[in-house]
């Protein structure tokens, strides 16, 4: 995969560590948004998009952030030491949504993002500077149409891939597809059969 675009949204100087948000586009077809550029002790680094981890209240079952001391729904006191801990003993409060699998990939992404960040800071000094970070949605319509037409041409040329069945109004699969899957699975009762 090739990084085809990096967009940066600079953060005002009132935040001490967060320097910018960014989005990275791969092969003009796949976008990862909400990466953060953070000033660390050894310089800037890229933090991958993540979500806050939650758990459920023992009394009412409502979801609460792991840092919450009281339930958002019933107000009951929550155990403050309920978060899982990493090898260093720090509480794991966030889970990555998208991230590189190895250090080589991380270095490629981080290098491209940090270069784009410095270029964006230089552009921001110019008169009439306009941030383009929020202009992402409308630009990909044409390339999305192109990708779909390529997929359809692959289907017609004999390249095989499995399509997903139609949904009924309630969101389940159509009865004919469910019957086909059930008939297939009836013949093989072994645990895990038919997963792949």
Secondary element (H or E) of residue 66:
none
**163 in any annotated domain:** no
pLDDT for the residue numbered 37: 92
pTM of this structure: 0.58
Contact call for residues 64 and 77 (beta carbons, < 8 A): no
Sequence-separated (6 or more) residues with CB below 8 Å from residue 173: 165, 166, 167, 181
Is 33 in the same domain as 115? yes
Q: How confident is the model at residue 48 (pLDDT cuts 50, 70, 90)?
A: very high
Is 101 in the same domain as 17? yes
Question: pLDDT tens for residues 155-192?
Answer: 566 555 545 455 555 444 545 555 554 555 555 455 55
Is 63 in the same domain as 89? yes
Counting Cα atoms < 13 Å in the Cβ hemisphere of 171 gives 0
Highest average pLDDT, of 3-7, 85-89, 93-97, comes from 3-7
Is 42 in the same domain as 118? yes
Q: Domain range spanning residue 12? A: 1-49+97-136
Could you say which of 107, 136, 165 is where a domain stops? 136
**14 in any annotated domain:** yes
- DSSP symbols for 15-53: SSSEEEEEEEEETTTEEEEEEEEEEETTEEEEEPPEEE-
- What distance, in Å, lies between the first and last C-alpha atoms of the chain? 26
Domains in the chain: how many in total?
2
Question: pLDDT tens for residues 27-46?
Answer: 988 999 989 999 988 989 99
Residues β-bridged to residue 51? 95
């Amino acid at each position: 995969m090739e990084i085809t675009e990096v967009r940066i949204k600079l953060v005002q100087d009132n935040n001490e560590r967060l320097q910018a948000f960014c989005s990275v586009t791969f092969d003009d077809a796949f976008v990862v948004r909400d990466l953060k550029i953070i000033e660390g002790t050894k310089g800037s680094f890229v933090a991958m998009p993540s979500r806050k981890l939650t758990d459920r209240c023992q009394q009412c079952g409502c979801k609460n952030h792991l840092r919450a001391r009281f339930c958002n729904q019933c107000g009951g006191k929550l155990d403050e030491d309920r978060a899982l801990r990493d090898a260093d003993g720090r509480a794991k409060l966030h889970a990555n949504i998208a991230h590189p699998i190895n250090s080589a990939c991380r270095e490629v992404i981080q290098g491209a993002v940090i270069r784009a960040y410095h270029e964006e800071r230089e552009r921001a000094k110019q008169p009439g500077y306009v941030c383009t970070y929020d202009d992402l949605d409308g630009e990909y319509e044409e390339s999305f149409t192109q990708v779909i037409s390529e997929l359809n041409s692959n289907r017609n040329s004999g390249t095989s891939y499995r399509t997903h069945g139609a949904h009924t109004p309630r969101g389940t699969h159509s009865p004919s597809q469910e019957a086909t899957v059930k008939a297939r699975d009836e013949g093989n009762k072994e645990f895990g059969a038919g997963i792949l």
